[in-house]
């Protein structure tokens, strides 16, 4: 949670901060695309490395890097200085979640993967809730730079807690296959390829939102930065609340039905944002966004945990995260490029269209259920 909290505290104002340093919207999109690209490059190798040098050790290193990257953001004086900082910051965010998720999945009974993954995913979701709340409360008092300095404290606290109270990570008694072998097993599975496409479609639209929504809300709809942060909080709250019940529901009825509902809701969210004329409709949109996001996340991770062998799980989780990063990179590029030609509202219509095909594709996923319910 603390790693996510460090970023979600500054995420609502990050586009505004970059622009305050003199960057254009196109450069903002390019910087965010570079972050996604670095995640694609580093994620699988670093996650695979964690199986060999120790997953807890890699988590500790990631927390230290995250803390120092926040300090570097606060010291930046022009947008070009952000480039090496973004690359540096990407290191922990590229592998932290799949490595932590693989530990949690190893600890969970097979018939309760959905519930346990839902419980685990509540933790980063709490970070997504608390971060915008802190941003809304502090940004007017601390300013952008002060907010980055404050955000550095959270991963530092996480480092100390993990160092003093390390989890008892189960040892895998199975021989670890090579990264290439594990990847081959994942990418030759038709259902996992379809899931990859759906995940990429969501992350593309999600990145478009992350790049442009704050600017859209402030410049077009006339909201204050603190109101934008409050909207992020609405999304975060529903994202947290839905994850545990969504995980339990997916254990009972299967992963596919929840994925179908989630992707249909994501389409609706982008349509509502595109046509929003003020705060009430945006509140509704962000509330629904959080519900859809949380349901999709739990169902996707649980589906993957059911579908792959335990010894390839870390690489498989890293692959799924890499696909998300690929979509994020594409979304950032699209956001910057499309903003030069069409309006913000029209860009969110494009985001809705991207997710429309995912609704039908999830119907064709093979039915993978927990071992205890087959």
Class of domain 2-164+179-368: mainly alpha
Residue in this structure with the two tokens 């913000």, named with its chain if needed: 344
DSSP element (H, E) containing 86: helix 82-107
CA gap 371, 346 in Å, rounded: 44
pLDDT band at 37 (very low <50, low <70, confident <90, very high): confident
Count the alpha carbons within 13 Å of 198 in the hemisphere toward its beta carbon: 31
Kindly list the domain boundaries of the chain, sorted by start residue. 2-164+179-368
Q: Which two tokens stand for residue 347?
A: 């860009």
- 340-351 pLDDT per residue, tens: 899 999 999 999
Q: Does the pLDDT at position 168 exceed 50? A: yes
Count the alpha carbons within 13 Å of 44 in the hemisphere toward its beta carbon: 20
Q: Does the pLDDT at position 373 exceed 50? A: no
Nearest to 372 by CA among 192, 243, 251, 255: 251
* Mean pLDDT, all residues of the chain: 88
CA gap 323, 328 in Å, rounded: 9
Q: Output the CA–CA distances (angstroms, integers) from residue 179 to 81, 172, 175, 316, 345, in the order listed.
A: 34, 16, 12, 10, 42
Q: At what angle do helices 55-75 and 153-164 cross, to 10 degrees?
A: 160
Contacts of 76 (CB under 8 A, 6+ apart): 21, 82, 85
CA gap 252, 115 in Å, rounded: 10
In this structure, are residues 361 and 221 in contact, taking their beta carbons and an 8 Å threshold? no
pLDDT higher at 203 or 318: 203
CA gap 29, 337 in Å, rounded: 8
Q: Which two tokens stand for residue 19?
A: 């622009």
The listed range with the strongest mean pLDDT (36-40, 266-270, 276-280, 300-304) is 266-270
Q: Does the pLDDT at position 249 exceed 80? A: yes
In this structure, are residues 16 and 218 in contact, taking their beta carbons and an 8 Å threshold? yes
CA gap 295, 285 in Å, rounded: 16
DSSP element (H, E) containing 242: helix 225-253
CA gap 350, 344 in Å, rounded: 10
- 275-285 pLDDT per residue, tens: 988 889 999 99
CA gap 19, 126 in Å, rounded: 28
């Amino acid at each position: 949670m603390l790693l996510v909290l460090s970023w979600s505290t500054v995420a609502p104002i990050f586009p505004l901060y970059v622009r305050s340093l003199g960057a254009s919207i196109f450069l903002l999109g390019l910087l965010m695309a570079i972050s996604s690209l670095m995640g694609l490059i580093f994620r699988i190798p670093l996650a695979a490395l964690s199986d060999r040098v120790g997953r807890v050790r890699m988590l500790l290193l990631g927390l230290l890097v995250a803390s120092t990257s926040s300090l570097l953001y606060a010291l930046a004086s022009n947008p070009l200085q952000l480039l090496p900082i973004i690359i540096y910051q990407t290191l922990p965010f590229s592998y932290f979640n799949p490595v932590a998720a693989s530990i949690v999945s190893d600890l969970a009974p097979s018939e309760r993967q959905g519930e346990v993954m839902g419980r685990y995913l509540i933790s980063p979701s709490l970070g997504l809730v608390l971060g915008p709340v802190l941003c809304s409360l502090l940004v007017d008092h601390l300013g952008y730079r002060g907010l980055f300095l404050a955000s550095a404290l959270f991963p530092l606290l996480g480092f100390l807690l993990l160092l003093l109270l390390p989890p008892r990570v189960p040892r895998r008694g199975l021989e670890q296959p090579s990264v290439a072998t594990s990847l081959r097993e994942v990418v030759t599975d038709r259902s996992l390829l379809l899931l990859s496409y759906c995940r990429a479609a969501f992350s593309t639209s999600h990145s478009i939102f992350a790049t442009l929504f704050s600017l859209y809300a402030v410049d077009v709809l006339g909201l204050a930065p603190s109101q934008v942060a409050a909207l992020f909080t609405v999304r975060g709250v529903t994202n947290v609340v839905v994850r545990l019940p969504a995980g339990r529901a997916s254990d009972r009825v299967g992963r596919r039905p929840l994925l179908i509902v989630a992707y249909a809701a994501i389409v609706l969210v982008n349509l509502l944002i595109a046509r929003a004329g003020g705060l009430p409709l945006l509140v509704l949109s962000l509330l629904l966004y959080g519900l859809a996001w949380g349901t999709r996340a739990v169902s996707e991770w649980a589906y993957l945990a059911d579908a792959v062998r335990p010894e390839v799980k870390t690489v498989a989780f890293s692959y799924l995260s890499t696909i998300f990063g690929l979509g994020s990179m594409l979304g950032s590029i699209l956001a910057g490029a499309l903003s030069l030609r069409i309006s913000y509202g029209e860009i969110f219509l494009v985001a809705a269209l991207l997710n429309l095909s995912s609704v039908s594709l999830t119907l064709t996923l093979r039915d993978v259920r927990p071992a205890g319910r087959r």
